[in-house]
Structure 1
């Protein structure tokens, strides 16, 4: 059997469980032969994927960005083709890869799409396909994960948590070592490190990021009052926040992040601990299926 679908039926507020029979019908329509495995607990998709690479040439994640990251971490560097059926709440990687939300169109992409190599971000041996957030948005991700109802609402939950933490999260001092250049920001709100443009359900946090160019993109938001930060926040959905003079963009292949106090880190919404940290781009380590 050529393809294995790794299905997280709990993803997307139960949307995956509802859509899976529909996806199966479309797979039959296109004559696609496959096997399927279902996850029952966090991180299980990683182990399923690690074992499956020895038996399948294609692994397809069915779920949201959390499921995607688990499968990616199971197959990165193995040469196995990665595909996805977006059925979560954020679906940021699907947005990047032009995989439609509609099940029929997504299956059509699986049948007719092209595949290309893609970079990944490596933070302490864990791979992230989209973006890593350090500071305020790391705290937002932590807040969302503690409130399951927010996690189920996608972008709405992100906005609610962001508004809440804008009132309480204190800015921090951060030192960045980007390749051979050093920077210091004494009053920083967040550092985003992007392999792709999107996170948080469609926010273009690193609008210039390209996920196969061999470099990582950084967005540093610093030296803003809470009111100023609130004012520019909506512009992130169009990538226009980078026009503000206190939003700085950099590129590199490796970044070391050191902060005056430990601040939270997330990767595509998954909590990855606290600073300090080192993030490295791993060029062309994943073979991915693109939509048209």
Structure 2
């Protein structure tokens, strides 16, 4: 079985470039025959993965973080190719979702077992998302981080810095939300997160009940809070206890439509996807993962 590894050496604040020789050592030690493509530009992994089927690869492995995972997953969409990940990025929430170890030796050993599982994917306006989508305040944080390259290099600390920068200036919005055949209106909304995974932003359990193979979208809405209340709530998101707050609502469904006034930014797997309005669908068991 031919295996292609797509390596984003810039992922993980450049740590992937340092860790890649360790991964390659264990790949060779375990006798995993493979080809390697080192990406040199954003979105390059999409095109490389898209050509993998024509080159008769049976496995395509992303080496990097959640942004690399997102690109490769979009590239292999619709092809009969199994996907794998060797986590070397900043957040690694997709790998965390599947309990794939950060340790290079253990991660490569997991890859060598060739055990397959089917996972769901989300689709938003034609783009696939593997883990979670953030709309509103969280999308604005992602935009700020992407505008300030050094914040990417400091990992989760950069997320906190952007949050502190924006929390007193970001204007809460009105949201019209439709989940399947149910309609809701939320005033003074800060954010809505839609999760296929419970994790995002480097380990926050934003949708703590989300499962990657249940055919459902989990939706978390945060509304009617002051900036100081939101700031106080933030640490509890790492344990998932934020959902106990009376102004946090969790819902489930298979189709989510979001309309906001005004339009607000959206990220998926940490990548900027545009602004509302948006429609998000679940694609059950759309991806075979090693």
Identify the TM-score tier after normalising by the shorter chain. over 0.9
In structure 2, runs of 5+ residues without a counterpart are none
| Structure-2 residue corresponding to 1:6 | 6
- Measured against aligned partners, the alpha-carbon deviations of 1:74-124 in whole angstroms (never above 9, x if no partner) come to 112323110011111111101111111111111011012521111111001
Residues in 1 aligned to 2:122 and 2:164: alpha-carbon distance in whole angstroms: 28
- Aligned pairs for 1:41-120 within 5 A: 41-54=41-54, 55-112=56-113, 114-120=115-121
5 Å matches for 1:190-229? 190-229=191-230
Partner of 2:183: 182
Matches of 1:117 and 1:268, distance apart in 2: 19
- Mapped contact 1:79–1:286 kept (Cα < 8 A): no
Report the alpha carbon displacement of residue 13 of structure 1 after superposing the two structures with TM. 1.7
Residue 77 of structure 1 contacts residue 286 of structure 1 at CA under 8 Å; is this kept in 2?
no
TM-score, normalised by the number of residues in structure 1 = 0.97
Q: CA deviation at 1:28?
A: 1.2
Q: Offset at 1:227?
A: 1.2
User: Equivalent residue for 2:273?
Assistant: 272
Q: Which residue does 2:22 correspond to in 1?
A: 22
Whether the aligned pair in 2 keeps the contact of 1:154 and 1:200 (CA below 8 Å) is: no
Matches within 5 A, 1:130-209: 130-209=131-210
Structure 1 equivalent of residue 130 of structure 2? 129
Q: For the residues of structure 2 that align with 1:75 and 1:242, how far apart are their CA atoms? A: 35
Residue 232 of structure 1 corresponds to 233
Q: Partners of 2:115 and 2:215 in 1: how far apart?
A: 20
Aligned-residue offset at 1:23 = 1.0
Match of 2:37 in 1: 37
Match of 1:107, SS state, is helix
1:229-250 superposed Cα distances (whole Å, 9 cap, x missing partner): 1111100001100011100000
Distance 2:19 2:283 in 1: 33
Q: Secondary structure at the match of 1:262?
A: coil
> By how many angstroms is 1:10 displaced?
1.2
**Is the 2:176–2:259 contact (alpha carbons within 8 Å) kept by the matching residues of 1?**
yes
Q: Structure 1: which 5+ residue stretches go unaligned? A: none
Q: Deviations over 1:124-164 (max 9, x none)?
A: 11000010000000000000001111112221111111111
Distance in 2 between the 1:280 and 1:124 partners? 9
1:52 match: secondary structure: coil
Question: How far apart in 2 are the matches of 1:211 and 1:178?
Answer: 18
TM-score normalized by structure 2? 0.98
Between the aligned partners of 1:76 and 1:88, the Cα distance in structure 2 is 22
RMSD: 0.9
